[in-house]
Chain A
């Protein structure tokens, strides 16, 4: 197990024991919702797609994989998630532990640059070389995961807190679709055949570890409004995308709101 992974799992384990030890104190329970996005600067094309022309990174790259001066498209990777987030707060709201259910939506694209642009998907056959003019290869994957996060607030100034967070999540793919958008509609009949020939597979499991730094606005009723900068995460699983893979990741942004459960019960 690599060092950052060891640190994160050790922290989560230590937190568990701390929670147990603190069980006699009065924790605050909250329920909330989150939305997050990962910022991917560039992505590379999965080599299993036999593409004739160069499809470089998101920023046009003359010297990328397939050669020089022939970049005709770009590869993109986006990741967003939404979730419900139960929380238990300890140590006078300094230590917060989160879990819940998260839906992670991954979208990968290879597409031509500009209007009416296309690239060629190719295959060698006994009859010769077959080229298919393709505008876009797109894949959408949805994973349902269970995150486990712990955050600590070292600084509170009036109603604003600054905190650091460590987390991990494990998910399972609940749906996925790969599609090709052809220049010629009559080629659509070959879509399944070409996807099958690419022999691409997606991992059904999704797992990563991550860290974030955040700022929190605490209302007088102890609602938490959080905004976090997610540092680049480390993927623990591979092949979570058969079309493109991120190569330059700048982390991401997460917004969440946490509401104390006692508010629902009418207690102050």
Chain B
């Protein structure tokens, strides 16, 4: 009977220990915001997985916050969407970069984006902006999304997430009004927690 109890405790401990590591290191999901002295209100450009992004929409800052998940990557309708969520003029705001004909199965496949530049005049990339309750595609857009670095992040020699770091700038029409998104930068971690494969299975 004693052996059975001990065995049961051992099994439970193993399950708990395994489940604790499954979601990844909690502290690495947090945001580390270091202000760029040259771009007040925006985070510095970095490649350490600080979970931040920022840009000026016209003259106001659009930045990641401590509360919201700054990035979600989801695959749907044969496109990969990189959605950045933050705050602009005290309103919840998201910007969506949609890369056509790119359907990664998991976050590891995002490594193929390393050192890739997408020109907005090329139909392969489309963008939309959601400010508050208004969602509009960014029309007649020019600009680029540059993923300078896509790399793996390991914690204690175990794979944790993929870090995407880069820059972006856009000039477009938003709800028929010209808008400029400038000085955009991001340093974001993508793991199984914020990668979604929503592709319909045949």
A residues neighboring B (CB under 8 Å)? 52-54, 66-70, 72, 120, 122, 124, 127-133, 182-184, 186-187
Complex: how many Å from CA A130 to CA B49? 11
Complex: how many Å from CA A184 to CA B33? 28
**B46 shortest CB reach to chain A, Å:** 10
Complex: how many Å from CA A26 to CA B192? 84
Q: Does B127 contact A (CB under 8 A)?
A: no
Give the A-B pair count, Cβ closer than 8 A.
57
Complex: how many Å from CA A214 to CA B27? 49
Give the residues in chain A near B25, CB-CB below 8 Å. 133
Q: Which of A66, A124, A129 contacts B34 (CB 8 A)?
A: A66
Within residues 40 to 78 of chain B, which ones have a CB less than 8 A from any CB in chain A? 47-49, 66
- Are A129 and B33 in contact, with the CB atoms below 8 A? no
- Are A128 and B154 in contact, with the CB atoms below 8 A? yes
Complex: how many Å from CA A67 to CA B32? 6
- Are A184 and B27 in contact, with the CB atoms below 8 A? no
Q: Which one of B80-88, B99-107, B131-139, B155-163 is at the A interface?
A: B155-163
- Are B152 and A127 in contact, with the CB atoms below 8 A? yes
**A74 shortest CB reach to chain B, Å:** 16
Give the residues in chain B near A184, CB-CB below 8 Å. 156
Give the residues in chain B near A122, CB-CB below 8 Å. 48
Q: With A131-B154, A131-B160 given, is the CB distance from A70 to B30 under 8 Å?
A: yes
Q: Does B28 contact A (CB under 8 A)?
A: yes
Q: Does B153 contact A (CB under 8 A)?
A: yes
Q: What size tier do the contact residues of chain B reach?
A: 20 to 34
Q: With A66-B34, A67-B33 given, is the CB distance from A124 to B47 under 8 Å?
A: yes
- Are A52 and B156 in contact, with the CB atoms below 8 A? no
Give the residues in chain B near A182, CB-CB below 8 Å. 156
Q: Which residue from chain A places its CB closest to the CB of B152 in the assembled complex?
A: A128
Q: Which residue from chain B places its CB closest to the CB of A129 in the assembled complex?
A: B153
**A132 shortest CB reach to chain B, Å:** 6
- Are A66 and B32 in contact, with the CB atoms below 8 A? yes
Q: Which of A52, A68, A124 contacts B33 (CB 8 A)?
A: A68
Complex: how many Å from CA A30 to CA B153? 63
B residues neighboring A (CB under 8 Å)? 25, 27-28, 30-34, 47-49, 66, 151-157, 160, 163
Complex: how many Å from CA A53 to CA B32? 8
Give the residues in chain A near B30, CB-CB below 8 Å. 70
Apart from A66-B32, A184-B156, 15 more pairs, CB < 8 Å? A52-B32, A53-B27, A68-B33, A69-B66, A72-B27, A120-B27, A127-B152, A128-B151, A128-B152, A128-B163, A129-B152, A131-B155, A131-B160, A183-B156, A186-B156
Q: With A52-B48, A122-B48, A131-B160 given, is the CB distance from A70 to B154 under 8 Å?
A: no
Complex: how many Å from CA A5 to CA B156? 48
- Are A131 and B152 in contact, with the CB atoms below 8 A? no
Give the residues in chain A near B48, CB-CB below 8 Å. 52, 122, 129
- Are A128 and B153 in contact, with the CB atoms below 8 A? yes
Give the residues in chain B near A128, CB-CB below 8 Å. 151-154, 163
- Are A54 and B32 in contact, with the CB atoms below 8 A? yes
Q: Which residue from chain B places its CB closest to the CB of A65 in the assembled complex?
A: B34
Provide 30 A-B residue pairs closer than 8 Å at the C-beta atoms, listed in order of the A residue. Answer: A52-B48, A53-B27, A53-B32, A54-B32, A66-B32, A67-B32, A67-B33, A67-B34, A68-B33, A69-B66, A70-B31, A120-B27, A120-B155, A122-B48, A124-B47, A128-B151, A128-B154, A129-B48, A129-B152, A129-B153, A131-B153, A131-B154, A131-B155, A131-B156, A132-B155, A133-B156, A182-B156, A183-B156, A184-B156, A187-B156
Q: Which residue from chain B places its CB closest to the CB of A52 in the assembled complex?
A: B48
Q: Which residue from chain A places its CB closest to the CB of B111 in the assembled complex?
A: A128
- Are B32 and A70 in contact, with the CB atoms below 8 A? yes
**B1 shortest CB reach to chain A, Å:** 34
